[in-house]
Amino acid sequence: MGTIFKAYDIRGRYPEEVNEGIAFRIGAAFVRLLGAKRIVIGYDMRLSSPALADAFAEGSMAEGAQVVNIGMVTTPQLYFAIQDGSFEGGAMVTASHLPGESNGFKLCREKAIPLSGASGLPAIERMVGEEADRPVGRTPGGCVTKSVLPAYLDRLKTFVENPSSIKMVIDGGNGAIGPEVLPLTRQFPSWNVVPMYMEPDGRFPHHVANPLIEKNTEDLRAMVVKEKADIGIAFDGDADRCGFIDEKGTKIPEDLVTALIAQVYLARVPGATILYDLRSSRSVPEIITALGGHAVRSRVGHAFIKAGMREKDAVFAGELSGHFYFRDAGFTDNAIFAMVQMLNLLSLKKTPVSSLIAPLKKYSATGEINMEVQKGEAVFAELEKRYGDGRLDHLDGLSADYDSWWFNLRASNTEPLIRLNLEAASRDEMESRKEEILAIVRRIDPGAHVLA
């Protein structure tokens, strides 16, 4: 069972690993851990999600909690519900960007503060395993259904600034975003929306709802060009991540999206603190600093970024994985909020997206290279020795920084892999440094395998 408890959430194949029985026990353990009296639960469009949500609610009620079921929603809407309703905790039934046969849970305490492998999830895993047949012996709670969509849309639309005439193509990926994004965009007549795959469908008939995979944005990129649109937006299944396409049909690197949205915030909040994940291009802290902001480098992972934002009262944070975080959204990741800020940027700059991105593309990056290794510790030790003349740090794995290039090597928090990101001032240096590091990895670990 331990395999379903990950670094940031709970997930596995349905019904072999995640099923109604497990959901009941997780729901009961969740309420016991928090000592919660009131919780809220939502679920995505996967075929198994309603039944898992009901079972989770039954387990929570068995422990005496009052449950509010807000139905099929995005994860950001669930975060909003926790905060708006002052609930002591909340649960989202989702496997996010994974294929339809997977499912799981994202769990939060009050204020939508996440439970993770570093805080909360190990205790729930232990309770689920040790107390599977524990008699509850409490007065059962109850469950009501309620929609928070009207209040959520009212909140979102307050952040749209001076909407101008913008044509956009939005690919919902048959995820949960359709019932939110379409009603929102209809409130702004100057927005011309070309919708794609908006009907929620957990079978994902067109493509898996993961915008980070290039092939999943093929239809969107083609439609942006065909429609002569200003921008394209792609959402993942539960809409806590998104990707953007420029008017030429080119995918915008997620770290450079961070740099773009940072410009909106720094125009509004001079001197603001903005977090960026340490895999991001040097262009990100450079533009934040140039505009008078305070750029703070963060380790990877939503639990760490959210905690760092709260600690430093950051207005915004961006992650290479397509998660974008906002103080105005209660320090949570919200893809529809990221869309709004990108549209605000276009209204502010009145310039094509490709022109806004061009000055930021001054370095050459490898992108994230994933490797399966058997001798991970030896690889890290050898690379630290070899690049000891660089500026080293261990904020997240091993980073080495030089004047004209840098790299970060870190172990995945969610998979048995190590991940390499490297950037240099020129493509030639990027390629040579990449091959240099990969050669060292293969020498230390001949069985190392770079994934496609």
pLDDT tens figures, 295-353 = 999 999 999 999 999 999 999 999 999 999 999 999 999 999 999 999 999 999 999 99
DSSP 3-state of 169 = strand
User: Which strands form 316-318's sheet, in the order they lie side by side?
Assistant: 294-298, 273-277, 316-318, 324-326, 332-333
CA distance 329 to 315: 10
CATH topology of domain 253-362: Alpha-D-Glucose-1,6-Bisphosphate; Chain A, domain 3 (3.40.120)
Q: What is the pLDDT of residue 131?
A: 59
CA distance 242 to 334: 9
Q: How far is CA 431 from the centre of its chain?
A: 29
Q: Exposed, middle or buried, 297 (CB in 10 Å: 0-12/13-18/19+)?
A: middle
Contact by Cβ (8 Å): 37, 87: no
Contact by Cβ (8 Å): 284, 258: yes
pLDDT tens figures, 234-274 = 999 999 999 999 999 999 999 999 999 999 999 999 999 99
3-state SS of 224-281 is HHHCCCCEEEEECCCCCCEEEECCCCCEECHHHHHHHHHHHHHHHCCCCEEEEECCCC
Domains 2-148 and 364-450 share a fold: no
Domain ranges of the chain: 2-148, 166-250, 253-362, 364-450
pLDDT tens figures, 179-199 = 999 999 999 999 999 999 999
CA distance 416 to 375: 12
Q: Class assignment of domain 364-450? A: alpha beta
Q: What is the pLDDT of residue 432?
A: 98
Give 2-148's CATH code, choosing from 3.10.290.10, 3.40.120.10, 3.90.420.10, 3.40.1400.10: 3.40.120.10
Q: Is the pLDDT of residue 136 over 90?
A: no
Amino acid, single-letter form, for residue 137: G
Q: What is the mean pLDDT of residues 60-72?
A: 97
**Rounded (5°) CA angle 81-85-91:** 45
Band the pLDDT of 100: cuts 50, 70, 90: confident
| CATH 3.40.120.10, domain 166-250, yes or no | yes
pLDDT tens figures, 377-414 = 999 999 999 999 999 999 999 999 999 999 999 998 66
pTM attached to this predicted model = 0.95
Q: Is the pLDDT of residue 416 over 80?
A: no
The residues assigned a catalytic role are 96
pLDDT tens figures, 424-438 = 999 999 999 999 999
Band the pLDDT of 1: cuts 50, 70, 90: very low
Band the pLDDT of 132: cuts 50, 70, 90: low
With pLDDT > 90 as the criterion, what percentage of the chain qualifies? 92
Q: DSSP of 388-409, one letter per residue?
A: TTSEEE-SSSEEEE-SSEEEEE
Band the pLDDT of 134: cuts 50, 70, 90: low
CA distance 324 to 317: 6
Q: What is the mean pLDDT of residues 199-220?
A: 96
Q: What is the pLDDT of residue 137?
A: 62
* Mean pLDDT, all residues of the chain: 95
Q: Is the pLDDT of residue 231 over 90?
A: yes
Band the pLDDT of 133: cuts 50, 70, 90: low
Q: What is the mean pLDDT of residues 56-85?
A: 98
